[in-house]
Every structure is written in structure tokens, then in C-alpha cells.
A and B are shown apart, each in its own frame.
Chain A
């Protein structure tokens, strides 16, 4: 929102007052101002929520106090539009450079350094392996890339400038407990910052395909989604540490997520069980257009991770329950199934789905949700309803129909993906609304 104010203030010379809840205001006046916009907007803070309330309650908001100045809210708006600018508010130009972060930290005891790393927000609040030069140098042996090679500049929240090198990724690898052979995966992972964040409870998921899964000992079989393998555990943790160090995400400072999401502890790190795919079912990276022998990392983002709550039953084929469970997904038009090889085998041999794509097509044609339920989801109303207003189908039609009309809410089968992973002990699966792009090369970072 500050972009809109910035345009009016800078380009057209029109004074503005942006309104938001306290957390957004705090971010707008601090980190976003310092590192993104550079314009000291005169924000006004309103209580939250501001939807679904009676007129009387909303009037109390306007009669109440601005959460920034403490003045009556409407008076604060009038003052912010009329009070002359201070010298600070008139400042222009490039500010002096911040003192650069030194390559080494001052020598200290292990306990103090562990505390410092936590206080700086560089960890997941579990102890880390302290990155001594010896350990970092050993980690760097896992890649042919030079330590001072720049990987990315605009890695911060909303693309703020936070340049980082291969050496920084090696430092994070040490902290997370990685082995040097994980470095190509970690470097590929680092190229994808900033990761998606939201004030809502979204999360990320990592998928690794190709030969590197076996080369670094990832578990794609029994217990694959639990804390049962070093590589899966450490790589997932490394993503959390990259989020806080490379991206600079600090809850309550550079980002706000009201509840956050427990999936963020390990970011659902998966190696697809390519060896257990039924014949004709391709690994995800091959579906994306990569060669089978390529090693590829895909980052998914989403909200919901729904358990099938037991194994497949005789009287209700799995695809029917998958169809039913799509109703609780975020209304992004995307779904990702994560299924045990035994479910994939059943779907192929008993239900006739010869490929993953065939299953996607079937779900796309058969998954339905009442329009009212679809539009009750704020992802749909906030992001898709305006597309309908701009004339884009199917959103135009979906807004016209009655709230109990069933709509096919996964219109594009290409946005329905299937990952096969697990040990074939039970015919279990998850359905999620996680979505991804085309995957990035891990081999490029060997």
C-alpha cells in the first residue's frame, strides 16, 4: 500500500495518509521505510479487524485513537495532511552506507555465541553448530563455486538489497548441521529467496528430484515425511535459517504472520520416491520438462496440508476422497497430492489412472465446491474476485451464480500435481493446496 502513497506523493506532489492495522503500520514506518521505500509516510493505525463489523463498531474506530500518534483518529488524519513537514520528512538522497557486517564475529565463548545467534534472530531457536572457519571451509568443499561468488542481491523482504555469497550459504549449512555434499542443494535453495510470506498461515515445501537424492542419503521411503533422516531434516532446517539470515525475516519486524505455521520448522522437505513410481507415472521434475538424470529442487507454497486420516478403504476409491477433500483447500486453483507408492499403485491398477496427468484431469473435472464456500475464502475474494471484475473467466461466471451452485474450482489440471513418497506400509496420502513453478537446477551448483 505504501507504493500507492509513494506514487501520489513523489510523482504528483499530493499529500497522502495511508491507513492500516498496527502491525502493517509498524512495518511501514520502520523496516519498509528504511530499506524499501525511503519515504517517511504519515501512517495512521486503525484497530483490527475492520471487516464484518456493524456500522456502530466502525464509528467507534473513527471516534477512537490513532494507534500511531494517540490522537483522535480523524484528527490525526487531518493533522497528517496539513501539518508542515519536518526537516527529517524533507530529506532526499542516498543515506550513508550502513557499517558492513564483518566477515568474522568477535571471539567469545560458545555459550555467548549461541546466545548471540539467537538474539540476532539467525536461528530457529534450537542450538546451531557454530560456523568456525575450519567448518565453513570444509563445507565449501561441497561445491566448485568460489566462496566470494555473488548469488543474489535483492534477497530481502519485498526485494530489499541484501547481497550474499556462496560463503554465506556455507555458513548457514554449518549452522544447520549439513554435510558438504548437501551444498549444491543448499545453493539452489538460496537462489529462491525471498521465500513467500504472508500475514496468514502459509508455509513452504521443498521437493528434491533426481540422482542427488540417493547421493546425499535422502529418505524417500519409510517415514519419509518425519524426522527420520539426516539429509531431509538438515536441508529443511537450512531453509528456515536462510529465511531468517539471507532474507532477513524477523517476526514482528520485517514480517508478520498472526499464527504462522508449524510446517515452517522443517518446510516439508521431500525427496520423491522415483523408484517406486508405477510405470507411466513420471517424476515431478520430468513432468516439468527436466531430464530424468537431472537433479532439481522445487519450492512449493501453500496453506493447507490435509491428512487422509487412515488408509484407503475398499468401498470408497481414493480419488473420490481426494476430490471431496479439495473443498477445504485455499482457493488458489492449485492442489498437490502427496501419496504413498501403494496408493499410486492402487490408482493405476485398480482405478485405471495410467499417468499422474490422468489423475489431474479427473480431479479437475470432478472436484467441486459451492460458490459461496469458494468466495468465503479470503484468498479467493482478495485475489480472484478482482480478476472477475476485470472480465476474466471463470471468475466472472462464478460471481454471478448462486452461492450453493457447485463450481469446478480446480479448472486447470496442470496446477494439480502428484508427489509419490513413502514406504508402502500403509495406503495413506495428503492433499494440499501447495503450488510451485518449474524447479531449479541443483547440478548447476555442484
Chain B
């Protein structure tokens, strides 16, 4: 029995050595260098139609600028935009600024406000703030 067991162990050890010596090295050698072709998961994005910016103003003096608060916080005007209006009053007194709160939440459109800005001869608009 002891002899048989010893023989079996020797055979298993030899088999193990053979597997170790030819298995991984040959396998990795073959697959690592072989080239394969695979299908492409990528998708082509369609570029958007280009739109020109509106012509810019010659100067801001004598113009009306709307500062539009997009209502990011939901509760009304952001102090940073009030500070911006104060900056214009101090540094560009010839510019009239009107601070307006957009209706709805910060993603909701407000066509009435855009119409109002155009109807009141708004020369430009600063729109913010998004985070």
C-alpha cells in the first residue's frame, strides 16, 4: 500500500510539474500576441446645427442689461446677482440694469420673460447662476 501511495504521489508531482511548465507560459505566449477582431460598441454622435451668436453691442453706455436669475435655489434671487447689479451701479453708472427672477424652477423655460426683455428694448442679458 505504501509503495502504491508513493508511486501515485510521484506521478501527481510529475504531472503537476509538466502542467506548470507547459500550461501557463505557452497559453499566455499564444494569446498575448495573437490579434483578434472585435465588434465596436462605439456610437457616432450627430453634431448639432450651428447657430450664430447675436451681434455684440458697440458699448454698454446708455444700454439696458437684464440680469436674469434662473431661480437655482428655488426661493428667489441669489445675492451674487444682487452684488453684480450693485457693481454696475458703482462702476458703470451709465448702464441701466434690471434684475429679474425667472419663473418656475431652474430648468423651466420662461418664454414670457424673454418676450418681455425684447419688448422693453433690453440690449443684453446676463443669465445665471447654474452649479
Contact = CB atoms under 8 A, between A and B. Distances in A.
Q: Do A and B bind each other?
A: yes
Interface string A87-98: 001111111111
B53 A9 contact: yes
Contacts of B56: 15, 81-85
Contact of B41 (A19, A21, A78, A131): A131
A55 B83 contact: yes
Interface string B25-47: 00000011111111111111111
18 contacts: A5-B125, A8-B54, A14-B124, A17-B124, A18-B130, A58-B83, A92-B51, A95-B47, A98-B46, A101-B42, A107-B36, A136-B39, A160-B46, A161-B46, A381-B75, A382-B105, A386-B103, A386-B104
Nearest to B126: A17
A81 B34 CA distance: 58
A49 B109 contact: no
A99 B118 CA distance: 40
A20 B126 CA distance: 11
A33 B49 CA distance: 10
B42 A133 contact: no
Contacts of B48: 33-38, 95, 160
Interface of B: 31-60, 65, 68, 70-75, 78-80, 83-84, 87, 91-92, 102-106, 108-111, 114, 117-118, 122-131
Contacts of A346: none
Given A107-B37, A109-B35, A171-B39, A55 B79 contact: yes
Given A19-B130, A109-B32, 15 more contacts: A5-B125, A12-B117, A24-B131, A39-B51, A50-B78, A50-B131, A53-B80, A77-B126, A92-B51, A95-B49, A110-B32, A241-B41, A378-B73, A382-B72, A382-B73
Interface of A: 1, 3-21, 24, 33-42, 46, 48-51, 53, 55, 58-59, 61-62, 74, 77-78, 81-85, 89-111, 113, 117, 120, 122, 130-133, 136, 155-156, 160-164, 167-168, 171-172, 175, 199, 241, 245-246, 248, 375, 378, 380-387, 389-390
A107 B128 contact: no
Nearest to B118: A12
Among A98, A103, A110, A175, max chain B CB count under 10 A is at A110
A20 to B, nearest CB: 4
Contact of B39 (A7, A62, A91, A133): A133
Contacts of B123: 14-15
* Residue among A4, A108, A110 with the highest chain B CB neighbour number at 10 A: A4
B54 A383 contact: no
A7, A85, A104: most-surrounded residue (chain B CB, <10 A):
A7
B44 A98 contact: yes
